[in-house]
Structure 1
């Protein structure tokens, strides 16, 4: 009788698919899987948790929040850096978007928590500007526009200003070339007007006591006049402060503008009339500390009664509100930005209650 082999060799013998080699193969694969599982477990155990991931993103978020919160502490001694940051301060909020994307990509709890600081600070600073604060009424409607020397479409610009329905129109960057053209185009609607140097005012109401304001530049870029309204006289100032530039070798070149702001602030402070309206291209935003000689005694019509930021420059893609309407002894009722003309600035308008 044939002897039966009882070895655990499987149905096909010790060397077949069910034999010892197959068993060794299965054990080897299990061993590899075990090693991989152990390696993955070690990796997970050693990987940083959600509060330890994205620490760089968290640090940048905190830095952004601190810059916005303490922008007034950024020194102006080197290249007027503080004024430069304050000019574009609202735009710093856009940096929250890439930081939030990085926090989401890294699944970082610490970065997400840190983002709360810049979001809170930006909302505290500018959230109020996002609502429409315009109200009814208003005794005097004013418009200010830097018409730009290179803007040769005088007729269309004048039509846009007339269509605003303003009682008083202030123009900056008046030149020998465009002065007579604007005087002729606006004469029918605005019978009273005064031009001194590179600024002028056109009015439906009588003007008196018009004189230049010394901005310490050597030529006239500002004037003061009295407007006779049904509620009494109003002192109106029209100003075009010196331009500022950003240069790699000098930073934010705002020295001449800052000196002119000081001079204009002193003139407004000495104004005997209680009601004051200042219109013009101030080449600075309300956040810029350099405009403190004005903002400390005058209110921004846009900030008090506007809808949004009211950016006016550059006209094609406005990024800053440098064309201002400021008041004292009057209450802004509404403020707005007019459609673009041929200028690189957009006109700005406001209604004020006297």
Structure 2
């Protein structure tokens, strides 16, 4: 052994001590990891003070972006412990959201000989695009088309454009449904607002009827979402009391599936995953979708396809869902 060796045989190399700055970064990674995991897991339990609850609920999937940001701090800290901290929010996010982003194609039932395809879009009032949206959704082989935010004259233009293939329709205020199949027991729903932004009808397919709810929930903004919450709560109450075995609720709910106001309706109806997986964000179209405000929820029906697509001039993407008819 050389006389100039810095250590004796068998001695362990000294562990490099972190600087004060690196220890501080490690502490920040710890706090950030713990805080992010808690927000992901319990965002809907944060008091909705100054609208923070609404923001956190609807931004919940995006909280995962904190992990790569914290990773940069962990690398800068040169601490393996920092990297271990990151496992907590990463696994919390995966546990919370993986079930909802698995591709429907992996678990969907086989398509039967008799199916029904629903399409829906908030066409954005004032764009003059209701007819364009309706024709685009018709071209996608939709059997039932629901439109929200209809303005003056647009419902009649849609009816005229779809008259040949969709002879059955029912319109309530700014919400309308056009169908290739007869619509029965149609009625308006005010859902506690005092004005009507929802409807209920029965689609008579000849292979079993389907109760359809079409809704355009009131807008939701920080400190201004009481009307929206009331509509969703009352819709959940109506659906819970509905004796029909096969139900579809579709439209612009102005809430994401992680919104605490959505818990009531998601407890009585199921939302299918997207064909190709991920979240299926529908709003805004540009520069890119950031939230899924438009939903289709079902009970008693096998969903074989569920996707979104552009149509017309709206700032919302349309949604399109195909189900096997009852008994198929």
- TM-score normalised per structure 2: 0.86
In 2, Cα distance between equivalents of 1:244 and 1:146:
15
Q: Are the aligned partners of 1:302 and 1:325 in contact in 2 as well (CA < 8 Å)?
A: no
In 2, Cα distance between equivalents of 1:216 and 1:52:
53
Over residues 54-111 of structure 1, what are the superposed CA-to-partner deviations in whole Å (9 max), with x where a residue is unaligned? 21122112211121122232123x2353332121110111111111111112212222
Among 178, 200, 205, the residue aligned to 2:176: 200
In structure 2, relative to structure 1, the CA distance for the partners of 1:150 and 1:50 (3 Å cut) is: same
Q: Are the aligned partners of 1:58 and 1:112 in contact in 2 as well (CA < 8 Å)?
A: no
Secondary structure of residue in 2 paired with 1:299:
coil
Among 247, 264, 269, the residue aligned to 1:298: 269
Q: How big is the shift at 1:130?
A: 3.8
Q: Which residue of 2 aligns with 1:70?
A: 42
Secondary structure of residue in 2 paired with 1:261:
helix
Q: Which residue of 2 aligns with 1:310?
A: 280
Look at both structures and tell me which one has the larger radius of gyration over its CA atoms.
1
Secondary structure of residue in 2 paired with 1:341:
coil
Among 270, 275, 279, the residue aligned to 2:250: 279
Among 290, 309, 320, the residue aligned to 2:291: 320
In 1, Cα distance between equivalents of 2:21 and 2:59:
36
In structure 2, relative to structure 1, the CA distance for the partners of 1:45 and 1:63 (3 Å cut) is: closer
State whether structure 2 residue 207 is matched by structure 1 residue 231: yes
- TM-score normalised per structure 1: 0.80
Secondary structure of residue in 2 paired with 1:201:
strand
State whether structure 2 residue 108 is matched by structure 1 residue 137: no
Secondary structure of residue in 2 paired with 1:70:
helix
Q: Which residue of 1 aligns with 2:126?
A: 150
Moved more, 113-122 or 264-273: 264-273
Q: Which residue of 2 aligns with 1:61?
A: 33
The residue correspondences of 1:94-173 to structure 2 (distance < 5 A) are: 94-134=65-105, 135=108, 136-137=110-111, 139-173=115-149
Q: Are the aligned partners of 2:130 and 2:150 in contact in 1 as well (CA < 8 Å)?
A: no
Q: How big is the shift at 1:215?
A: 1.6
In structure 2, relative to structure 1, the CA distance for the partners of 1:297 and 1:129 (3 Å cut) is: closer
In structure 2, relative to structure 1, the CA distance for the partners of 1:146 and 1:52 (3 Å cut) is: closer
In 1, Cα distance between equivalents of 2:243 and 2:32:
50
Q: Which residue of 1 aligns with 2:50?
A: 79
In 2, Cα distance between equivalents of 1:181 and 1:50:
66
In 2, Cα distance between equivalents of 1:170 and 1:352:
16
Q: Which residue of 1 aligns with 2:5?
A: none
Q: How many residues align?
A: 304
In 2, Cα distance between equivalents of 1:108 and 1:46:
8
Q: Could you tell me which runs of 5 or more consecutive residues in structure 2 were left unpaired when the two chains were aligned.
A: 1-15
Q: Which structure ranks higher in relative contact order (CA pairs < 8 Å, sequence separation ≥ 6)?
A: 2
RMSD: 2.1
In 2, Cα distance between equivalents of 1:291 and 1:66:
20
The residue correspondences of 1:29-68 to structure 2 (distance < 5 A) are: 47=19, 54-68=26-40
Q: Are the aligned partners of 2:103 and 2:273 in contact in 1 as well (CA < 8 Å)?
A: no
Q: Are the aligned partners of 1:337 and 1:348 in contact in 2 as well (CA < 8 Å)?
A: yes
In 2, Cα distance between equivalents of 1:285 and 1:46:
43
In 2, Cα distance between equivalents of 1:267 and 1:53:
52
